[in-house]
Structures are given as C-alpha cells and as structure tokens.
Amino acid sequence: MSDKTEYTIEDVQREAEKHQKSKEQSELMQLIIFKLAGEEYGLSIDQIKEVVLTPRIARMPQTPSYIKGVTNIRGNIIAIMDLEQKFGLGEGLIESAKQDYTLVVENADFKIGILVKEVPNTLTIEVDDIDKASTLIQYSTLDASCLMGVVNVGDRMIILIDMIKLIESEGVKTSYT
C-alpha cells in the first residue's frame, strides 16, 4: 500500500509498464489528482481530454452558481463548472485569477470544464486498492453513484469521482420549468 508516491508522467508510464509485467493480474488505473478545498480528488485519466489555462468565461444567467458559464476552447464551446461550489466546499474559486486551470472532461456526448487552482498531477493506483466502503458514501455530500471510492496512498487520502456519472445522473438543474 505504502510503496506508491507521486510520479511524473514518464515515471508513471515506466512504472505502469513495470507493474504490468510484475503484477499481471492486478489492474492499474491512472488518475488525475486535483485539490478542492484542501482535499485531494481523483478522476480516471480516461475521462480527461486536456488541461488548459482557464480562458475567459461568459457568465450564464439562470444557471446554478456552480456553473461558471461557457467558454471557447479551441473552437469548442463548453460549460465550466466549479466543483467546490457544486460539492458545497469552501467559497468557490475566484475566476479572475489567470493561473487557474481548467480540466476538460469528455465523453461521447459532452465536454465540460472543471476549474482547479493548481496544475493537476497524475498518479497510478491499483484498482484493488480503491476502498468502496459504503460507509464512506453515507457521509459524503456527493451523490453515491458518482463517488467511486477512496484510495489511501501513504498518508494521502484521495477521493475518486466519476465525472461522467456526476453530470449524467444528476444533470445540471437549469431554470427551464
């Protein structure tokens, strides 16, 4: 459990290959780690398209406050979301700060941007290490279906979320009545 630390991308790839060889049966998972209100959150790398500097955002009236608006990333128009607000953690990010980053989450149906303060990093874990204990979910403010579990890496605790499920299951409540 405690033999995992942070890796650079090259390290991750090398490690991933090593792990693949040594532990053929244990499945590996690459995560993108970012911080929300001091806690570490992880998303499966498959769900992330890219990380960009947050472009100018056009506000969108009559949407929940965690929807920061829409922006133009390489000609694609995507919605930008603040997960701190969505999960009710802290004050939310100040969008004017130019060093903010946007994680672009993508699946076949939609793309959405998530605001984060620091450059996210990557981490490789073993799928078996994900603790899916249901008690965790009970105390969580997250919807149970989008909380994949918790991974303990050394003294770090990373909350794994499934962004796609988060958007799909709950949706964004808009003003249309």
Partner 1 sequence: MAKEEEYKEMFLAEAEESYEELNRLFTELEKNNQSRSAIDAIFRITHTLKGNAMGMGFDAIAELSHVMEDIFNEVKLRRMTLDSTLFQSLFRANDILGDLIQSVKTEEKVRYKGIRTKLQVALRKAKAYYEAQHESTVVKEDAVANQTGSTEHTEDEVKEGDSCEWIPPNELDDEEGEEEGDDEIKGHKIILSDMVQVPVRKLDELLNIVGELIIEKDTLIAQWERERGSNSDLARLHRITSDLQYSVMDVRLVQVGFLFNKFHRVLRDAAVIENKKVDLVLEGTESEIDRNVLKTMSDSLVHLVRNSVGHGIEPSEERLKLGKSERGTVTLRARNEKDTVYIEISDDGYGVDVDKIKAKAIKKGLIPKEYASIISRAEVLLCLFEPGFSNAEVVTEISGRGVGLDVVRMAVESIGGKISVETELGKGTTFTLGLPSSMAVKAALLFQLAQQEYAIALAYTEAVISMPKAEIHKINTGLISTYLGKTISIVFLQDLFDMKSMKEIEGKGSLYKQFDAIEGNPNLDIVIVSYNHRLVGLVVDKLMQQKEIVEKKLPAPIDNVALFSGVTILGTGRMCLVLDIVSILSHLFREKRIGANIATLG
Q: Of 35, 33, 54, nearest to 97 (Cα)?
A: 54
Token reading at 65:
């406050």
Give dist(CA 78, CA 71) in Å, integer: 6
SS3 155: coil
If the CB atoms of residues 111 and 117 are measured against partner 1, the closer one turns out to be 111
Selected range binding partner 1 among 20-28, 39-47, 75-83, 84-92, rule: CB under 8 A: 75-83
Token reading at 127:
């799928």
**Sole binder of partner 1 in the list 2, 3, 56, 139 (CB under 8 A):** 56
SS3 31: strand
- x/- string (CB under 8 A) for partner 1, residues 137-176? ------------------------------x---xx-xxx
- x/- string (CB under 8 A) for partner 1, residues 89-128? --------------------xxxx----------------
Q: Of 52, 147, 50, nearest to 99 (Cα)?
A: 52
Site for partner 1 in 13-52 (CB under 8 A): none
| CA of residue 61 relative to chain centroid, distance | 25
Shortest distance in whole angstroms from residue 45 CB to partner 1:
22
Give dist(CA 169, CA 23) in Å, integer: 34
**Sole binder of partner 1 in the list 22, 62, 99, 138 (CB under 8 A):** 62
**Sole binder of partner 1 in the list 44, 63, 121, 140 (CB under 8 A):** 63
